[in-house]
Structure 1
Amino acid sequence: MSGLSTAKAMVTGVALLCSAAPVAVLAQSTTSSPVLLISIDGLRPGDVLEAEKRGLKIPNLRRFLKEGAYATGVTGNLPTVTYPSHTTLITGVAPARHGIVSNNTFDPKQINYGGWYWFAEDIKAQTLWDAAHQAGLSTGNVHWPVSVGVKSLTYNLPQIWRSGHSDDRKMIKALSTDGLYDALEHDCGAYADGIDEGIDGDETRAKFAARLIETKRPDFVTVYLAALDHEEHLFGPGSAQANAVLERLDAVVGKLTSAEMAAHPDAAIAVVSDHGFVATDTEINLFRPFIDAGLITLNADGKVASWEAMPWPSGGSIAIALARPDDAALTAKVAALLDQLASNPEARIAHIAARAEIAKMGGNPQAAFFVDLKPGALSGGFAAGAPLARPSRYKGMHGYFPTMPEMRSTFLMMGKGVAKGRNLGEIDMRAIAPTLALQLGSNLPDAQVAALPIKP
Structure 2
Amino acid sequence: MRLAARLAAAVVAIATAAAAPASPVLLISLDGLRPGEVIDAQARGLKLPNLTALARQGAYASGVTGVLPTLTYPSHTTLITGVSPGRHGIGNNLTYDPLVQNQIGWFWYASDIKVPTLWEAAHAAGLKTANIHWPVSVAARGVDENLPQIWRTGTADDRKLMAALATPGLLPPLEAQLGPYAQGIDETAEGDAVRVRYAAAILARDHPAFTTIYLAGIDHQEHHDGPGSPEANAVIERTDALVGELVAAARKAMPDITIAVVSDHGFLPVAHDVNLFRPFIGAGLITLGADGKVSGWEAEPWIAGGTAAIVLARPQDAALRAKVAGVLAAIAADPANGIAAILDEAEVRRRGGPAEASFMIAMKPGFETGHDPAAAMVTPSSYHGMHGYLPDLPEMRSTLIVAGPALARHGDLGVIDMRSIAPSLARILGAKLPSAELPPTF
Q: Same fold (TM over 0.5)?
A: yes
- Secondary structure class of the residue paired with 1:280: strand
Measured after TM superposition, the shift of residue 366 of structure 1 is: 0.9
* Matching residue of 2:415: 426
Q: How does 1:11-90 map to 2 (within 5 A)?
A: 23=13, 27-28=17-18, 30-90=20-80
- Secondary structure class of the residue paired with 1:105: coil
Letter in 1 for 2:39: L
Partners of 1:408 and 1:340 in 2: CA distance? 30
* Matching residue of 1:6: none
Letter in 2 for 1:82: T
* Matching residue of 1:408: 397
Contact 1:29/1:441 (8 A) holds in 2: no
Q: How does 1:254-293 map to 2 (within 5 A)?
A: 254-293=244-283
Measured after TM superposition, the shift of residue 30 of structure 1 is: 3.9
- Secondary structure class of the residue paired with 1:32: coil
Alignment partner for residue 179 of structure 1, among 136, 145, 169?
169
* Matching residue of 1:205: 195
Q: Does 1:309 align with 2:299?
A: yes
- Secondary structure class of the residue paired with 1:413: strand
Normalising to structure 1: TM-score of the pair? Answer: 0.93
Partners of 1:25 and 1:42 in 2: CA distance? 35
Measured after TM superposition, the shift of residue 236 of structure 1 is: 0.1
CA-to-aligned-CA distance 1:22-75 (integer Å, 9 cap, x gap): 855764554101000000000000000000000000000001221000000000
Q: Does 1:228 align with 2:232?
A: no
Alignment partner for residue 188 of structure 1, among 175, 178, 190?
178
Contact 2:110/2:139 (8 A) holds in 1: yes
Q: Does 1:325 align with 2:325?
A: no
* Matching residue of 1:297: 287
Partners of 2:15 and 2:158 in 1: CA distance? 44
Contact 2:20/2:407 (8 A) holds in 1: no
Partners of 2:323 and 2:409 in 1: CA distance? 56
Contact 2:13/2:408 (8 A) holds in 1: no
Q: Does 1:363 align with 2:359?
A: no
Measured after TM superposition, the shift of residue 345 of structure 1 is: 1.6
CA-to-aligned-CA distance 1:366-417 (integer Å, 9 cap, x gap): 1110000010111122x23211110012000000010111000000000112
* Matching residue of 2:430: 441
Q: How does 1:332-347 map to 2 (within 5 A)?
A: 332-347=322-337
Q: How does 1:113-152 map to 2 (within 5 A)?
A: 113-152=103-142
Contact 2:17/2:407 (8 A) holds in 1: no
Partners of 2:173 and 2:421 in 1: CA distance? 32
- Secondary structure class of the residue paired with 2:126: coil
CA-to-aligned-CA distance 1:210-266 (integer Å, 9 cap, x gap): 111111110000000000000000000010000000101000000100111011101
In structure 2, stretches of 5+ residues that fail to align are 1-6
Partners of 1:371 and 1:226 in 2: CA distance? 27
Q: Does 1:417 align with 2:402?
A: no
RMSD, matched Cα: 1.7
Partners of 2:12 and 2:92 in 1: CA distance? 36
Instruction: Give me the identity figure in percent.
Output: 55
Measured after TM superposition, the shift of residue 418 of structure 1 is: 2.5
Partners of 2:56 and 2:62 in 1: CA distance? 14
Contact 2:64/2:400 (8 A) holds in 1: yes
Partners of 2:198 and 2:12 in 1: CA distance? 39
Partners of 2:352 and 2:217 in 1: CA distance? 28
Partners of 2:53 and 2:156 in 1: CA distance? 38
* Matching residue of 1:399: 388
Partners of 1:76 and 1:107 in 2: CA distance? 25
Contact 1:24/1:451 (8 A) holds in 2: no
Contact 1:285/1:379 (8 A) holds in 2: yes
- Secondary structure class of the residue paired with 2:187: coil
* Matching residue of 1:153: 143
Contact 2:17/2:408 (8 A) holds in 1: no
In structure 1, stretches of 5+ residues that fail to align are 1-16
Letter in 2 for 1:384: P
Q: Does 1:242 align with 2:235?
A: no
Letter in 2 for 1:333: K
- Secondary structure class of the residue paired with 1:357: helix
Q: Give the paired residue count.
A: 436
Contact 1:354/1:370 (8 A) holds in 2: yes
Partners of 1:115 and 1:173 in 2: CA distance? 19
Letter in 2 for 1:123: I
Measured after TM superposition, the shift of residue 419 of structure 1 is: 6.2
Partners of 1:146 and 1:25 in 2: CA distance? 36
Partners of 1:336 and 1:375 in 2: CA distance? 24
- Secondary structure class of the residue paired with 2:401: strand
Contact 1:66/1:420 (8 A) holds in 2: no
* Matching residue of 1:109: 99
Contact 1:65/1:421 (8 A) holds in 2: no
Letter in 1 for 2:375: A
Normalising to structure 2: TM-score of the pair? Answer: 0.96
Measured after TM superposition, the shift of residue 193 of structure 1 is: 1.0
- Secondary structure class of the residue paired with 2:223: helix
